[in-house]
DNA sequence: TTGTACGCGTTATCAA
DNA sequence: TTGATAACGCGTACAA
């Protein structure tokens, strides 16, 4: 079908291997033949066949991205396109292509990863999430397949290259910010408790409270799905309490949107009646009314660093384990006030 | 490195070709040897190598997705993850993998497509947008490379398989809806005018007005970027008019978010002072306050159908050109009222 | 500096 | 029903 190295070789009157070397810009080829070969390539409109190259090289120049099961939820969150853009940019810089897993359920995704990996479709993968006892992670570790993770590993922190924020501190910071405003009844609305990010932020929240000498209340700690519906449910539960909180730490802007919605429905005013801080600072943190005070975790950078790291690892297998902490900063808007 | 067909063959005491046939479930192999081979595969944990298979087959089982240049804008819109999910699901059903282009600028994307296509990385591609005089489209057509498009082709409508809504009618419908509410001064806020979707919806808007005997006003037709900032700018311009509109047709929910924001800043009330209808019905059409009356274009289905179509085309090159029209429906919320 | 020959892991054709 | 053997397009030792 397509133009191959042989066609070029014939036209340029050289051996196929010479053409191959010209493509690789091998210094041991004379400038003269290089030019001759390049001319032939141009004339024929030659483009190297990646598949054949991959087979010969045992390397594909493709990165695999692994989303958590329940892709529908994950994709809905603006977090996803933003990390994707970050990874994509890093990939582009180094001429890597990017492939996605396609399953919906955990099982499908797992199968997809096995196919990607064992099928030799990708040189390395990036895990877009971190959860407790993850089968995919375990598999990748067992096979010693190159990967990096976005988020903090649940186990083997020292052995897994990962890109993360200091979520513990971030959560501690925002909780202290609320404490500083005079709040004492502060609730925490987390996501799925199997996600490490939930755990880390919860720990930060708890630390801030205990440092301040405030007892933790079990009924102030909720875990919901990473959706606006999650936020809605949480609010209902909290408002039903006999001593409802005066401030909320919500783990994700999307959930916060649900929170704000429900609050406005039941005529609870933000921030006068209740203060809210959130995480991720995606687009609608700004667009919501009131604007949401949110921790900007630099999602793009998370992706970009992860992309760079996995490529380094692929190209240099002896690359040491790394932990990259991306800075965060709190963006204050109108969702908090003194008590 | 990995386990190959040869290892399996050796263990099962058959020829490599036999193993290959077992994998393909070739009916001319006896059940007995099939079982023997499968046992060996299990024992060794064999997984077929896609790269080798691709080379032999001249087919990769990979679909390429092509985003428009200015990926940053495109990715911000919830439209993207949703189509992606649709395509992804179709791909998964047929065991296809999905690869993304990675460039930012038009030029980079174009180069990426050429690499994908000529490099033999993908069997077919889906264009996630439709614009006037698109270089990528032209390239794909010239090479007779299998592709489908989401949106209506600018040219050669009969020759390009595409998945689209009837945007003309949808825009006409919503405009007539506003007319029915008594509005006569209706403005249109479009996206980039090179995008076919902008053109189609504009035509629908114009038709509705002219059918109603209302003269078009040039100053009521604006083109902005597909971002909330676009919506903001548009509003400023419109409000500066000596006869500002009483209703707006906005081409995208994200822009509408900007519109609402700006309106609320300048204390113009929706829907009492001005009515707004929008398109796409993404998550925050519902979450905005007031809720946005928006045309649900079934984004997921757009993607799913496109995925199915490109796979059909790849697997059967003689497949006739198709045009798939995905139905839409108007979701009424609180952003419109009688004048 | 360049050419020859083989291997990468499959599939497919042709014999047996 | 199965086994040799030749592709698929490229990279690379080894030879020249």
Q: In CATH, what number is assigned to the domain containing residue B146?
A: 3.40.50.2300
CA distances to A211, A241, A305 from A165, rounded to whole Å, are 22, 33, 12
B75 assigned to some structural domain: yes
Are residues B81 and A85, on separate chains, in Cβ contact within 8 Å?
no
Separation CA B176–CA B59 (nearest Å): 49
Are residues B114 and A75, on separate chains, in Cβ contact within 8 Å?
no
| Chain C: bases < 7 Å from a protein Cβ | 1-5, 7-13
Q: Does B283 lie in the same domain as B191?
A: yes
Q: Does A210 lie in the same domain as A131?
A: no
Q: Tell me the CATH number at B27.
A: 1.10.260.40
B150 assigned to some structural domain: yes
Q: Does A288 lie in the same domain as A173?
A: yes
**Is the shortest CB-to-strand distance from B95 to strand D under 7 Å?**
no
A266-324 per-position pLDDT tens digit: 999 999 999 999 999 998 888 888 899 999 999 999 999 999 999 999 999 899 999 99
Q: Does A76 lie in the same domain as A159?
A: yes
Separation CA A63–CA A67 (nearest Å): 13
Q: Residue A245 belongs to what domain range?
A: 167-297
C1'-nearest nucleotide to the CA of B53:
C10
Separation CA B67–CA B102 (nearest Å): 9
Separation CA A235–CA A247 (nearest Å): 11
Q: How many domains does chain B have?
A: 3
C1'-nearest nucleotide to the CA of B16:
D3
A41-92 per-position pLDDT tens digit: 999 999 999 999 999 999 999 999 999 987 888 999 999 999 999 999 999 9
Mean pLDDT value across chain B: 94
What's residue B230's pLDDT? 79
Least confident of A77-91, A254-268, B298-312: A254-268
Chain B touched by A309 (CB under 8 Å): no
**Is the shortest CB-to-strand distance from B21 to strand D under 7 Å?**
yes
CA distance A210 to chain B (A): 35
Helix (H) or strand (E) holding B66: strand B62-66
Separation CA A5–CA B120 (nearest Å): 14
B337 assigned to some structural domain: no
Separation CA B317–CA B319 (nearest Å): 5
What's residue B302's pLDDT? 98
A54 assigned to some structural domain: no
Mean pLDDT value across chain A: 94
Are residues A75 and B60, on separate chains, in Cβ contact within 8 Å?
no
Q: Does A240 lie in the same domain as A181?
A: yes
Size of interface A-B (CB pairs under 8 A): 132
CA distances to A287, B78, B231, B259 from B254, rounded to whole Å, are 10, 8, 8, 9
**Is the shortest CB-to-strand distance from B56 to strand C under 7 Å?**
yes
* Overall average pLDDT of the A134-148 stretch: 96
C1'-nearest nucleotide to the CA of B6:
C9
Are residues A1 and B71, on separate chains, in Cβ contact within 8 Å?
no
Note the residue count of chain B: 339
**Is the shortest CB-to-strand distance from B26 to strand C under 7 Å?**
no
B40 assigned to some structural domain: yes
Say if residue A223's pLDDT is above 80. Answer: yes
Name the one residue in this structure whose structure tokens are 């306050």. B289
Are residues B99 and A62, on separate chains, in Cβ contact within 8 Å?
yes
Chain A touched by B4 (CB under 8 Å): no
**Is the shortest CB-to-strand distance from B42 to strand C under 7 Å?**
no
């Amino acid at each position: 079908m397509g133009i191959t190295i042989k066609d070029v070789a014939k036209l340029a009157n050289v051996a196929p291997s010479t053409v191959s070397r010209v493509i690789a810009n091998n210094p041991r080829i004379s400038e003269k033949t290089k030019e001759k070969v390049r001319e032939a390539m141009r004339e024929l409109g030659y483009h190297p066949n990646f598949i054949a190259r991959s087979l010969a090289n045992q390397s594909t120049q493709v990165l695999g991205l692994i989303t958590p099961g329940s892709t529908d939820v994950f994709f809905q969150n603006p977090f996803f396109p933003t990390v994707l853009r970050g990874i994509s940019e890093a990939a582009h810089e180094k001429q890597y292509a990017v492939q996605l897993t396609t399953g919906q359920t955990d099982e499908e995704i797992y199968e997809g990863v096995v196919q990607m990996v064992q099928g030799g479709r990708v040189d390395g993968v990036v895990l877009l999430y971190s959860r407790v006892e993850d089968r995919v992670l375990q598999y990748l570790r067992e096979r010693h397949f190159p990967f990096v993770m976005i988020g903090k590993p649940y186990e083997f922190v020292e052995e897994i290259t990962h890109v993360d924020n200091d979520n513990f501190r971030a959560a501690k910071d925002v909780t202290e910010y609320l404490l500083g405003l005079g709040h004492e009844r502060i609730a925490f609305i987390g996501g799925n408790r199997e996600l490490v990010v939930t755990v880390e932020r919860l720990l930060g929240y708890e630390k801030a409270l205990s440092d301040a000498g405030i007892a933790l209340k079990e009924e102030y700690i909720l875990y919901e799905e990473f959706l606006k519906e999650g936020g809605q449910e949480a609010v209902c539960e909290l408002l039903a309490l006999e001593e409802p909180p005066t401030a909320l730490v919500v783990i994700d802007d999307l959930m916060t949107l649900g929170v704000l919605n429900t609050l406005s429905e039941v005529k609870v005013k933000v921030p006068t009646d209740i203060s809210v801080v959130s995480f991720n600072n995606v687009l609608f943190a700004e667009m919501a009314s009131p604007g949401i005070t949110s921790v900007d975790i630099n999602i793009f950078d998370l992706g970009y660093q992860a992309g760079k790291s996995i490529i380094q690892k692929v190209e240099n297998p002896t690359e040491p384990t790394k932990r990259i902490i991306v800075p965060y900063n709190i963006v204050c808007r109108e969702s908090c006030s003194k008590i």
